[in-house]
Structure 1
Amino acid sequence: MSTSVSTSPRVARVALVTGATGGIGEAVVERLVADGFAVAVHYAGNKAKAEALVEKIAASGGQVLAVGGDVADEQQMQAAFDAVETAFGGIDVVVNTAGIMLLAPIAELNLDDLDRMHRTNIRGTFVVSQQAARRVRRGGAIINVSTSVTRTQLPTYGAYVASKAAVESITLILARELRGRDITVNTVAPGPVATPLFLEGKDEETIGRFAKAAPLERLGEPRDIAESVAFLAGPARWVNGQVLYSNGGLA
């Protein structure tokens, strides 16, 4: 199922952003549109928000398409990639921001939550990366999203970090497997970012502690992560097979 709005028959570079109704995903969409991309806005469940974002971008003259689907379902993602190629003629950049975060100490984690994160964060990244590896054109980029907690190792993040460490491994190996294709594959690992996903369930004291942790003494904003993604999607052609920590200097 897709909804498309295109204001011009001329398409330059094309990007697909999964999880585009989330805080970081939406910021990435808006930044890539500003950089001249035609962008496919992917959603899993929030169709209304995706269509509102599409209308907003189209009203300002951008070329945009909304596509739905479960990132962990290979048939649905194949259909989403097909819709983007039909609308815009090909795909140059895939940004996979789709993910879920469920926190608890390892000793107390509900294993159903572990399975949910595994399905979205690991299988979903693998399915999207597989389609991207088959579809992205020469000179393109594949960008996944991890977390800086793979280094800071905070309590209660064990299962989430395990899933994101897998994302990093998939990324680094795919970069080597695409040798000779002129396609870069990288991961952005944000620090604490003021999104609903991060803020949910945290009191003001906890949020303030996270804000003070980085030398820049603030939480990241979705636009900060979008800048890093735009760098990897555009001028950063010599950055490949890397994890870029976008966290304000957090250790």
Structure 2
Amino acid sequence: MTDLSGRTILMSGGSRGIGLAIALRAARDGANVAILAKTDQPHPKLEGTIHTAADDIRKAGGQALPVLGDVRSDEDVQRAVDATVAGFGGIDVVVNNASAIDLSKTTDLPMKKYDLMQDINCRGTFLLSKTAIPHLQKSSNPHILTLSPPLNLDPKWAGAHVGYTIAKYGMSLTTLGLAEELKDIGIAVNSLWPRTMIATAAVLNLLGGEQVMATSRTPEIVADAAYAILTKPSRALTGQFLIDDDVLAGEGVTDLSKYHAGGGSDADLQPDIFLD
């Protein structure tokens, strides 16, 4: 594949942040993007809804299908898959972008939050991927891309926030398993993770505020890396845990200064978690 023109992407989340950046990059090629997300009305602390995201996708040159629903719901996910196929004729790409985060220590983590992370991150990734597989099989270049980290078994990452680590590694185990299970039918399954913190609402509201935002990269670096992955032949790249700047280096992109949210040097950047 040379671009995503006419390709159909089904994404969980995507009203803002990294998911929206991936959607907009695809839209610039004229892709079709369906977004399954819960934000129907403006949130006091979060920019964007499925409707504003759809408008942005259309303005960028793509076709958009906002689907109000919850990736935790079997019925909502099936409805999103069915609507995407009905609206665009099939599914070429699934992007598992929806994720919940709580970095609390075990004794401080309510089980309601633990269950939320498990259900959105791990179960939601498995469910959306599973439900879309029959349609991905019909694509000429099918991809599943999950925003989750390498399976780093250094105990420090489990010990730092075991509830969240279990949920994110569950997403990554889904990548590992599905890549092996689906390799013979040519569906690529990969994970993508940023080298540094990314300037999103989660960073602003949960992970350090403006100070960390200034030492982060913009979501566009992940979007450009995702684009490079999704335009590769599916049988040539699967079962990989990819890092955004490594992907771009493989594309010959080494000057990453435009992605620095605070405009400083690389030395100022805050590394993301799960990476040594």
Aligned to 1:245: 243
Q: How far 1:107 sits from its partner (Å)?
A: 3.1
SS in 1 for 2:56: helix
Q: How far 1:72 sits from its partner (Å)?
A: 1.4
Q: TM-score normalized by structure 1?
A: 0.83
Give the distance between the partners of 2:209 and 2:35, measured in 1 at CA: 32
Give the distance between the partners of 2:186 and 2:10, measured in 1 at CA: 18
Q: TM-score normalized by structure 2?
A: 0.76
Change (3 A) 1:131 1:186: same
Matched, 1:101 2:104: no
RMSD: 2.5
Give the distance between the partners of 1:160 and 1:73, measured in 2 at CA: 20
Superposition pairs for residues 69-88 of structure 1, below 5 Å? 69-88=69-88
Aligned to 1:31: 25
Give the distance between the partners of 1:120 and 1:166, measured in 2 at CA: 11
Q: How many residue pairs were aligned? A: 233
Aligned to 2:216: 219
Aligned to 2:198: 193
Give the distance between the partners of 1:245 and 1:234, measured in 2 at CA: 16
Aligned to 2:184: 180
SS in 2 for 1:29: helix
Q: How far 1:47 sits from its partner (Å)?
A: 5.3
Q: How far 1:57 sits from its partner (Å)?
A: 2.9
Paired residues of 2:151 and 2:172 also in contact (CA < 8 A): no
**TM superposition outliers: structure 1 runs of 4+ over 6 Å:** none
Paired residues of 2:147 and 2:191 also in contact (CA < 8 A): yes
In the alignment, structure 1 segments of 5+ residues that lack a partner are: 1-10, 212-217
Q: How far 1:220 sits from its partner (Å)?
A: 2.2
* Structure having the larger proportion of residues in strand: 1
Q: How far 1:207 sits from its partner (Å)?
A: 2.0
SS in 2 for 1:194: coil
CA-to-aligned-CA distance 1:97-155 (integer Å, 9 cap, x gap): 00110121123222221111111111111111111222212421000111469567286
Give the distance between the partners of 2:143 and 2:29, measured in 1 at CA: 15
Matched, 1:130 2:130: yes
Paired residues of 1:146 and 1:188 also in contact (CA < 8 A): yes
SS in 2 for 1:139: coil
Change (3 A) 1:17 1:171: same
Q: How far 1:62 sits from its partner (Å)?
A: 2.2
In the alignment, structure 2 segments of 5+ residues that lack a partner are: 43-48, 247-270
Q: How far 1:229 sits from its partner (Å)?
A: 1.2
Greater Cα shift, 162-171 or 144-153: 144-153
Aligned to 1:231: 228
Match for 1:106: what amino acid? T
Aligned to 2:260: none
The percentage of aligned residue pairs carrying the same residue is 30
Give the distance between the partners of 1:202 and 1:241, measured in 2 at CA: 29
